[in-house]
A and B are shown apart, each in its own frame.
Chain A
Amino acid sequence: MTTTELFEAPEATAESAQQTVVGRSPWQLAWLRLRRDRLAMACAVFIGLLVLVAIFASPISHAIGYSSTGQDRTHGITLDGLPVGPNSRHWFGTDNLGRDILVRIIYGTQVSLVVGVAAAAAAVFIGVVVGLCAGYFGPAVDSVLARVMDVVLSFPFLLFAIALVTVVGPSELVEIGVIAFFSWAAVGRIVRGQTLSIREREYVEAARSLGAGDLRIMFVDVLPNLVAPVIVYTTLLIPVSIVFEATLSFLGVGIIPPTPSWGNMISDAQSFYQVAWWFLVFPGLALIFTTLAFNLLGDSVRDALDPRSERMFTK
């Protein structure tokens, strides 16, 4: 068989210099598309900065000169006992106890990212396992697991979360657990639906005809095709979890004061926003920009992973 003749066609050799075909994986192609997306890169840089801020929260606040719970009784509070607005000492102002809002936001970043990412990761893990089993192992397993997901999704989650935390007692770990518990079912549904369609593909049948077992088909043939939607959903689930965390903290069932989190800062600001706008605005902006960055990045990741939607946005 003259394979060389077949594949080294004349036109290929003529412009072989720039035409050398590189077998790029779908991931490499998606990464290249994402790299070209300036908005996505800006969001990624912003998120990267947030991560750095969260990691180096204590040295940064040391450099600023205040701790997260330390009260500045001399300059951080007026004689009437009201918060002090943004000035050269306190860039973002202080709260009603004379604590520096910038430092508290920096520490709040730590809480938001840790809780948001951990809860999203836990939710995705549970969701993928349950969804994969529900989609792959036929109607009997599916009907049980799908009903479980329906039940979880139909919970009044805020009421349930408040009740649960009241019983168990608030802590960071409980908060992660609560958020993960109410988020996994949505992931599970997506994964289940995708698995149901992938299961019917001819390459799965081909693997079966070769004698592949269920586990091998699940991990080698089904899971790699699920990674794209799962990545997209994870990046979109992180901001949701961050907002969820803020909500719980706002309601007093998340992070316990005096440990700062964006949610309990906004909660504290409720009674002061008429005289101290900075108290409400800066934690609010931190929350908005963080969720916006994650959401935009998630959208871009989806565009990058699904080339068919590419033309809608470029040019």
Chain B
Amino acid sequence: MTRPRSTPADPPTPDPTGPDSTGRASEDDVLVRLEGVVKHFPVKVGIVVKHEIGRVHAVDGVDLTVRRGETLGLVGETGCGKSTLARCITRLCPLTAGRVIIDGQDLSTMSRRQLRPYRRQMQMIFQDPYGSLNPRRRVGSIIGDPFAIHRVTRGPDRIRRVQELMELVGLNPEHYNRFPADFSGGQRQRIGVARALALRPKLIVCDEPVSALDVSIQAQIINLLESLQSEFGLTYVFIAHDLSVVEHVSDRVAVMYLGKVIELADRPALFATPRHPYTNALLSAASVADPDRSEQRQRIILTGDVPSPVSPPTGCRFHPRCPKAQQRCVDEDPALTPRLGDPESHPTACHFPVEPGEDLAAIRVGTEQPGREEAS
């Protein structure tokens, strides 16, 4: 986030020497490596003897890397598995399959007890600033929790360090003895940030940290996160469904749809030349501040609902709603690899990626595509 902002109008210039978007970076450079992460939730029926009738494919085979000091944005609509993926990264839930490697350590099969020392390196910031703080505890004790749990420091020294943290995130240290109910939503989120920061973690997974806040407060929290990142060299996995927020904070962006990453690119590339039809639709749906531009642009309206993650569609999971879908999309699941057709060729999971300049909205109104189920 410290590098100069470039507008989507700038032609993206790939750096041939640097690590590319697929994340094939040198091992030292990588903080988080996800290999084929799968998380299914069984759907069970029966009162005494339960038997499984299906599985929610919340996360279905995700490979990702997060480099040290960068912010990886994770976008997608509600229910696409973003939050589940976040909980897999921080090992708040056991994985169905796959590996999570953080700082060279494979955490995927560790028990809760084994994980404990590694928890110091990764923290989470939660979406709901009201739900993530225990209403019956004083703020000082909430922020001091990491110190207490990891037996770092106690007594007056703990109070001093908690107050330093409060000052760091822009809270008045004198409010140490107040309760969460005495704070506004933005201030509460600062409390959550202070708690996440207490043990100086390397990785912070932000699960929609600003989506519950007012827009003006959102900016304050994002700026706070950015300044903390440059101060402490933090790595963020930043989950959001608000594209403008993701565009603002991310170095790279991964787009998720129904439990899979369907497009992964450096931020300018993704916003300038989105390849996957879903990404195009997502970008076209984002609100634009300028009303003139907003009226001019073509929105790509997707028909139908997101298919049930219990029984995801065959082949490409987006094919029932995709304007470009063909028979191959029904039969064959596209891999997340760089595709031909644009100078940057970041990885996208689509057989027929959108060419630069192609008008997807026009296809939508046009002829029916084979293999596409029309929503009634």
Contact = CB atoms under 8 A, between A and B. Distances in A.
A23 B182 contact: yes
B175 interface: yes
Interface string A201-234: 1110111111111001000110011010000000
Interface stretch (B100-108, B133-141, B260-268, B311-319): B133-141
Contacts of B230: none
Contacts of B168: 1
Contact of B149 (A203, A216, A224, A225): A216
B177 to A, nearest CB: 5
Indicate the size class of the contact surface on chain B. 35 or more
Contact of A211 (B115, B126, B138): B115
B120 to A, nearest CB: 7
Interface in B179-198: 179, 181-182, 192, 195
Nearest to A226: B136
A188 B89 CA distance: 36
Contacts of A25: 136, 138, 179
A78 B332 CA distance: 104
Interface residues of A, dominant DSSP: helix
Interface residues of A, number: 28
Nearest to A198: B134
Contact of A203 (B116, B133, B167): B133
A23 B178 contact: yes
A3 B172 CA distance: 6
Nearest to A222: B134
A205 B273 CA distance: 38
A201 B131 contact: yes
Interface of B: 90, 92, 115-116, 119-120, 123-124, 126-128, 131-138, 145-146, 149-150, 167-168, 170-173, 175, 177-179, 181-182, 192, 195
Interface of A: 1, 3-4, 6-7, 21, 23-26, 201-203, 205-213, 216, 220-221, 224-225, 227
Given A3-B167, A206-B126, A210-B149, 15 more contacts: A1-B168, A3-B170, A21-B178, A23-B178, A23-B179, A25-B179, A26-B135, A203-B131, A205-B126, A205-B132, A211-B116, A213-B149, A221-B134, A221-B137, A224-B136
Q: Which 7 A-B pairs have the closest CB atoms?
A: A23-B178, A211-B119, A202-B131, A224-B136, A202-B132, A203-B134, A7-B172
